[in-house]
């Protein structure tokens, strides 16, 4: 998907910078003229992610937090927030509501749960922007434990009729820094295979269009069954 506009931010992990990050990202996406609810969701998601980096990533230390925001085609947005903090040893546990590593009792442990609920809403309410677009989930972690995150993210692709591109192993790389990842030869081979498979998938779709193969139009009926 082509990038229409993008911006990058970096700032120190001080608590008073959380509001700055929230407002800055919201101001960038204001050019899309989002609804009040959409803007509130963006601000909350950024706030939760930045707060996690400050409180749990760097804890008592001061480090740098990075934000990379993009506006893509079809009013699709991308927000990446990262830090070089201590990492998460057990992602599955960290995503449980009410779980927190904070020892002071001042944190509710709802950050991941809130961000995941927003992801659910985005992929469900804006499904038309994602349908039939090939996608791949990639995770990067300091050590092991990112497979659970991949399962959660793949769920969003599957409910949006997106062809999921895979590799010859789980789509993950390991390392604390980009230079560490460059030493993960197995992970790099996995990414290389994933890139080739994605290119092949895109070529197949394009060839299908030229051959007159129509995109399936699917309907969904709602029932009262509990799934």
Q: Active-site residues: which are they? A: 48, 52, 107
CA 180/CA 173 separation, integer angstroms? 10
Find the angle CA(69)-CA(29)-CA(128) to the nearest 5 degrees. Answer: 90
Helix ranges (H only) for 53-145 are 91-94, 111-125
- The answer to whether 53 and 112 are in contact (CB under 8 A) is no
CA 88/CA 172 separation, integer angstroms? 15
**3-state DSSP assignment of residue 4:** strand
Helix ranges (H only) for the chain are 17-29, 36-52, 91-94, 111-125, 147-158, 178-182, 185-210
CA 38/CA 36 separation, integer angstroms? 6
Residue 207: partners with Cβ closer than 8 Å, 6 or more residues away: none
């Amino acid at each position: 998907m082509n990038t229409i506009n993008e911006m990058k931010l970096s700032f120190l992990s001080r608590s008073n910078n959380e509001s700055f990050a929230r407002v800055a990202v919201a101001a960038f996406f204001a050019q899309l003229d989002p609804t009040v609810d959409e803007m509130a969701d963006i601000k909350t998601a950024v706030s939760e992610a930045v707060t996690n980096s400050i409180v749990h990533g760097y804890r008592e230390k001061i480090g740098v937090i990075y934000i990379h925001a993009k506006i893509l085609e079809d009013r699709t947005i991308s927000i990446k927030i990262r830090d070089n903090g201590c990492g998460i040893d057990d992602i599955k546990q960290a995503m449980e509501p009410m779980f927190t590593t904070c020892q002071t009792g001042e944190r509710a442990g709802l950050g991941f749960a809130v961000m995941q609920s927003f992801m659910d809403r985005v992929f469900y309410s804006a499904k038309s922007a994602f349908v039939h677009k090939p996608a791949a989930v990639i995770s990067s972690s300091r050590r092991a434990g990112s497979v659970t995150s991949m399962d959660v993210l793949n769920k969003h692709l599957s409910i949006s009729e997106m062809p999921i591109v895979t590799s010859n192993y789980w789509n993950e790389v390991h390392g604390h820094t980009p230079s560490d990842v460059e030493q993960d030869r197995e992970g790099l081979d996995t990414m290389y295979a994933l890139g080739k498979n994605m290119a092949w998938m895109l070529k197949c779709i394009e060839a299908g269009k030229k051959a007159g193969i129509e995109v399936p139009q699917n309907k969904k009926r709602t029932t009262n069954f509990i799934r």
